[in-house]
Homo-oligomer: A and B are copies of this chain.
Amino acid sequence: MGESYTKRKIMITGYGTVAKEFVKMINEQKERYRESYGFYAEIVGIIGSKGMIYEEDGIDLVTLLSFGKGSQALGQYAQQKQIYIQAPELKGDVLIECSPTNLETGEPALSYMKAAITKNMDIISVSKGALVQALPELKKLADTNGCRIKYSGATAAALPTLDIGEYSLAGSRITEIEGILNGTSNFILTSMSEDSLSFENALKLAQERGIAEANPALDVQGYDSACKILLLANGLFHKTWTLNDISIEGIEKVSKADMQFAKINGNDIKLVASARSIDGTITLQVKPEIITADNPLMNVKGTNKGILFHTEEMGTICCIGGASHPRGAAAAAIKDMLNLYRG
């Protein structure tokens, strides 16, 4: 490639840890992306909770990165550059959606995405709320406006899940999907398994290490896993299921005795999100399950994730990895961007 390349103006909504990591990667790697993929990303605007910074010819990323994150950093940037914090307005070619996930309303992401689509912007979403609420509607709107939606960052991030189903298994019929899709609950179960901790103590350890949030409900009650299997199953089986179609059980009731009993038999307990064929119907569920020693998911330890695709033509394909950290999530958004525009 080298000489000819595609250039797109990028707008980011939300400026938390993942968005900042995305900006950092663009700042460090944009010339490599241009050379290797024939794509040049220019970040022109970032919308935070208190308004947006926007520079038609590109935000000065080095200056921006010298500040922290969130609206405070955007304010400091505006002050340093002597520009105004403007009212939010979607402009440019691509929206990178990184605002906080709200599973009940999907907002503010949903409004941002709709506004972006009506301006013919492609969308790369890292946040899950709007997708869980309204992906079928958003896809229809995107089709009408000739734009595309990618969301690797919302479906287990650095672990390839949707990619494998859509690209690596193209043409093959996927019959069932089983995954360990939440790093926090897997860390807790791994600590219970390997260090004989109770659920409470393992959760405490996860919180001390910054793996679990102060309010760990979304992770340990299984909702995060449910969102991911929902997005994967809808995408790969071409359905429009909602969270209400999923039977969800978290890991809070897994006891030391349950774990000990599993281990006596050489097994383990993991939180499995699945789309399985039961009596000829695909059934979605999230629940703690016994994993036997010969299951490749056995080796998904700590904050790692893993997924199994059962197919008619290619047998069973397992993918493991994607340790949960913000850089991995940002890298998933970068991947989506390069795959949309590479030469």
Q: Give A contacts to B, CB under 8 Å.
A: 25, 29, 33, 37, 158-160, 163-164, 167-172, 294-296, 298-299, 301, 313-323, 325, 327-328, 330-332, 334-335, 337-339, 342
Contacts and interface: CB of A to CB of B under 8 A. Distances in A.
A299 B306 CA distance: 13
A33 B172 CA distance: 10
A314 B320 contact: no
B335 A169 contact: yes
29 contacts: A33-B171, A37-B171, A160-B168, A160-B169, A160-B317, A163-B164, A164-B164, A167-B167, A167-B168, A167-B339, A170-B338, A170-B339, A171-B335, A171-B337, A172-B334, A172-B335, A295-B299, A296-B296, A296-B320, A313-B327, A313-B328, A314-B328, A314-B332, A316-B321, A317-B321, A317-B322, A318-B318, A319-B319, A320-B320
Contacts of A339: 167, 170
A18 to B, nearest CB: 13
Given A171-B337, A317-B319, A318-B319, 20 more contacts: A25-B171, A29-B171, A159-B317, A160-B164, A160-B317, A163-B167, A164-B164, A164-B168, A167-B167, A168-B168, A168-B335, A169-B335, A296-B320, A298-B299, A299-B299, A315-B321, A315-B328, A317-B322, A318-B321, A320-B320
Contacts of A301: 294
Given A25-B313, A296-B299, A317-B319, A168 B172 contact: no
A19 B222 CA distance: 45
Identical subunits present: 2
A158 B311 CA distance: 11
Nearest to A168: B160
Contacts of A294: 299, 301
Nearest to A293: B299
Contacts of A296: 296, 299, 320
Contact of A172 (B170, B323, B331): B331
A327 B313 CA distance: 6
A125 B304 CA distance: 34
Contacts of A298: 299
Nearest to A238: B36
Given A159-B317, A316-B321, A320-B317, A331 B171 contact: yes
A37 B332 CA distance: 24
A37 B322 contact: no
Contacts of A316: 321, 323
Contacts of A167: 163, 167-168, 339
A317 B158 contact: yes
A323 B170 CA distance: 17
A334 B160 CA distance: 21
A326 to B, nearest CB: 11
Nearest to A25: B313
Contacts of A37: 170-171
A192 B304 CA distance: 31
